[in-house]
């Protein structure tokens, strides 16, 4: 997987680069908008991490220019402006996701994985499977092995989101955005409580847990 980081702050870029390289990605870096746009249009990247405030050409203009040139590479916009309107502007300009600074590396990593996965999954799925857990998207029925599992509508959406990102780490803010469609940082552990209820229903009475807590990062659903 080939990533492009467009970020003018050398240290932030270097630590993102280091972390993502360790995670197994090939990473290129541009430190201004013009170079970033040039590399984005000429190279074949799987995803681009774009800082919003850049010298020369700002991040949103780069994304707009890319989209105008029919380059559909998924873009994660990074910004020190974390307000609701800025998020909307970023997504409207053609960004696929938005992350405000400062961020935990795990958050960045999880979102990059989600972006790459989104690109892979093009076919319409009717069933999600993780180990012996099955979610039928048409009948909205869940079963693990032979045992049917009864879920509330919101729990079902939470499970669907986790299963669509099976094997990846999803963060609490990703869940709040993806399942509830609200963008803010809840002070209390609201998401954790929802997860632990879901875990009760999924894993209780089974030897192998499916829903895992990733310390300091978030949650992940996976078979082993």
Q: Does 102 sit near another protein (CB under 8 A)? A: yes
Instruction: Tell me the C-alpha distance between 12 and 62, whole Å.
Output: 20
Q: Compare residues 66 and 76 and give the one whose CB is closer to another protein.
A: 76
Q: Are 169 and 109 in contact (CB under 8 A)?
A: yes
Question: In this chain, which stretch among 142-150, 166-174, 182-190, 199-207 interacts with another protein, using CB under 8 A?
Answer: 182-190
The only residue of 1, 104, 116, 214 in contact with another protein, by rule CB under 8 A: 104
Contact status: 127 vs another protein (CB under 8 A): no
Strand partners, 73: none
The yes or no reply on residue 55 touching another protein (CB under 8 A) is: no
Per the CB < 8 A criterion, the answer to whether 6 and 48 are in contact is: yes
* Residue 200 lies near another protein (rule: CB under 8 A): no
88 binds another protein (CB under 8 A): yes
Alpha carbon of residue 19 to chain centroid: 16
Q: Does 103 bind another protein (CB under 8 A)?
A: yes
**Cis peptide before 102, with omega less than 30 degrees from 0?**
yes
- Residues with Cβ within 8 Å of 202's Cβ and at least 6 positions away in sequence, in order, are 133, 144, 149, 159, 210, 211
Minimum CB separation of residue 86 from another protein in Å reads 9
Q: Which residues bind another protein (CB under 8 A)?
A: 9, 11-12, 15-16, 18-19, 22, 53, 80-85, 88, 100-106, 154, 180, 182-190, 193-194, 197, 216
């Amino acid at each position: 997987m080939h990533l492009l980081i467009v970020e003018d702050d050398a240290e932030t870029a270097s630590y993102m680069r280091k972390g993502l390289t360790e995670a197994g990605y090939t990473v290129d870096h541009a430190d201004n908008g013009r170079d970033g746009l040039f590399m984005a249009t000429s190279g074949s990247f799987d995803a681009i991490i774009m800082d919003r405030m850049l010298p020369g050409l700002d991040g949103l203009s780069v994304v707009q220019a890319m989209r105008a040139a029919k380059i559909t590479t998924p873009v994660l916009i990074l910004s020190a402006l974390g307000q609701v309107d800025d998020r909307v502007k970023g997504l409207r300009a053609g960004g696929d996701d938005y992350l405000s600074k400062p961020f935990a590396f795990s958050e960045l990593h999880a979102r990059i994985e989600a972006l790459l996965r989104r690109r892979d999954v093009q076919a319409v799925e009717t069933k999600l499977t993780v180990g012996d857990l099955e979610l039928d998207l048409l009948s909205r029925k869940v079963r693990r092995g032979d045992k049917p599992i009864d879920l509330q509508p919101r729990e079902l959406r939470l499970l669907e989101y986790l299963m669509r990102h099976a094997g990846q780490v999803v963060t609490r803010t990703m869940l709040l955005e993806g399942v509830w469609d609200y963008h803010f940082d809840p002070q209390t552990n609201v998401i954790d409580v929802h997860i632990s209820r879901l875990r009760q229903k999924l894993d209780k009475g089974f030897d192998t847990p499916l829903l895992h807590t990733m310390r300091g990062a978030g949650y992940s659903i996976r078979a082993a």
